Structure 1
Amino acid sequence: MKWLCGVALAAMLTGVAQAQNVVATGDLGLVVERASGALLLVDQSERAALARIGGLGDLSHASLVYSPDERFAYVFGRDGGLTKVDLVEKTIAKRVVQSGNAIGGAISDDGRLVAVSNYEPGGVRVFDADTLEMVADIPTGSKTIGLVDAPGRRFVFTLWDAGETWIADLSKDEPKITKIAGIGRNPYDALITGDGRLYIAGLFGEDGLTALDLWEETPKPIKVLPEYGRGEAEMPVYKMPHLEGWAKAGNEFVLPAVGHHEVLWIDGETLEETGRTQTHGQPVFAMARPDGRQVWVNFAHPLNDIIQVIDTVTKTVVHEFKPGPAVLHMEFTPRGNEVWVSVRDAGKVMVYDTRTFEKKAEIDADSPSGIFFTARAHRTGL
Structure 2
Amino acid sequence: MKRFGKLLLAAAASALLAGCASPALRGTGDLGVVIERASGSVQVVDNSHLTQLSRVNGLGDLSHASLVYSRDARYVYVFGRDGGLSKVDILAGKLVARVMQAGNSIGGAISSDGRIVAAQNYSPGGVKLFDADTLALLAEVPAVDEHGQPSKVVGLADLPGNRFAYSLFEAGEIWLLDAAKPRAPQVTKYRNVGRQPYDGLASSDGRYYIAGLYGEDGLALLDTWQPEAGVRRILPGYGQGREAQPVYKMPHLRGWSIAGHYAFLPAIGHNSVLVADSRSWQQVTQLAVYGQPVFVMAEPSGRRVWVNFAYPHNDTVQVIDVPSMQVIKTLKPGKAILHMEFTARGDAVWLSSRDDDKLVVIDTQSFATVAELPAANPSGIFFSWRAARMGM
TM-score bin, normalised by smaller chain? over 0.9
> Which SS does the other structure have where 1:218 is aligned?
helix
RMSD (CA atoms)? 2.2
Alignment pair present for 1:253 and 2:253:
no
SS of alignment partner, residue 244 of structure 1: coil
CA–CA distance in 2 between the matches of 1:346 and 1:374? 25
Q: Which amino acid aligns with 1:27?
A: D
Q: Does 1:190 align with 2:193?
A: no
Residue 235 of structure 1 pairs with residue 245 of structure 2: yes
Normalized against structure 2, the TM-score is what? 0.92
Rate the CA distance shift 1:145–1:231 in 2: closer, same or farther, 3 A. farther
Q: Does the 8 Å CA contact 2:256/2:297 hold for their aligned counterparts? A: yes
Tell me: CA distance 1:361–1:109, structure 2 relative to 1, closer, same or farther (3 Å).
Answer: same
Distance 1:348 1:182, change over 3 A: same
Give a deviation string over 1:309-351, Cα, whole Å, max 9, x none.
Answer: 1100101111111011100000000000000000000110010
1:159 to 147, 150, 168: 168
Superimposed CA distance per residue, residues 139-187 of structure 1 (whole angstroms, 9 cap, x where no aligned partner)? 0121000001111111111100111111111102511110111210101
Match for residue 295 of structure 1? Answer: 305
Alignment of 1:1-382 (within 5 A): 21-140=24-143, 141-172=150-181, 173-229=183-239, 232-245=242-255, 247-382=257-392
CA distance in 1, matches of 2:133, 2:22: 26
Q: Deviations over 1:230-264 (max 9, x none)?
A: 88413211111001135111100001111111111
Q: Do the aligned residues in 1 keep the contact of 2:256 with 2:300 (CA within 8 Å)? A: no
Deviation at residue 19 of structure 1 after TM alignment: 11
Alpha carbons 1:30, 1:42 under 8 Å: kept: yes
- State the partner residue of 2:147: none
CA contact 1:157–1:165 (8 Å) conserved in 2: yes
Q: CA deviation at 1:217?
A: 4.3
- Partner SS state of residue 377, structure 1: helix
Report the alpha carbon displacement of residue 276 of structure 1 after superposing the two structures with TM: 1.6
C-alpha contact (below 8 Å) 2:24/2:91 kept by paired residues = no
For 1:160, give the aligned amino acid: F
230 and 161 in structure 1: CA distance in 2 versus 1, 3 angstrom threshold: farther
* C-alpha spacing 1:96/1:320, structure 2 compared with 1 (3 Å): same
Normalising by the residue count of structure 1, what TM-score does the alignment of the two structures yield? 0.94
Question: Residue 127 of structure 1: CA displacement?
Answer: 0.5
Give 1:37 shift: 0.3
- Unaligned 5+ segments in structure 2 are 144-149
CA distance in 1, matches of 2:63, 2:22: 38
**Whole-Å separation in 1 of the counterparts to 2:377 and 2:123:** 26
The one-letter amino acid of 1:92's match is L
Cα 1:120–1:254 change in 2 (3 A) is same
| Cα distance, 1:24 vs structure 2 | 1.3
Deviation at 1:284, TM superposition (A): 0.4
Q: Distance in 2 between matches of 1:83 and 1:19?
A: 20
Letter in 2 for 1:182: N
How far apart are the structure 2 equivalents of 1:317 and 1:162? 37
AA at the equivalent of 1:183: V
- Using the alignment, how far apart are the partners of 1:155 and 1:276 within structure 2? 30
Separation in 1, partners of 2:240, 2:391: 26
Aligned counterparts of 2:30 and 2:217: Cα–Cα separation in 1: 41
CA distance in 1, matches of 2:268, 2:306: 17
- Give me the whole-angstrom Cα distance separating, in 2, the residues matched to 1:204 and 1:372: 26
The aligned amino acid for 1:265 is: V
Bigger shift: residues 279-288 or 220-229 = 220-229
Does structure 2 retain, via aligned residues, the 8 Å contact 1:230–1:260? no
Partner of 2:264, secondary structure, is strand
CA contact (8 A) 1:329 1:369 kept: yes
Find the aligned partners of 1:94 and 1:230 in 2 and give their Cα distance. Answer: 49
How many pairs are equivalent? 378
Cα pair distance change 1:219/1:58, threshold 3 Å: farther
> Does the CA contact (< 8 Å) of 1:246 and 1:256 recur in 2?
no
1:218-241 deviations in Å (ceiling 9; x for gaps): 241111011224884132111110
Shift of 1:287: 0.6
Give deviations 1:112-163, integer Å, cap 9, x for gaps: 0001000000001110111101100000121000001111111111100111
Give the whole-Å Cα distance in 1 for the aligned partners of 2:379 and 2:27: 25
Q: Assess if the C-alpha contact under 8 Å between 1:60 and 1:78 holds in 2.
A: yes
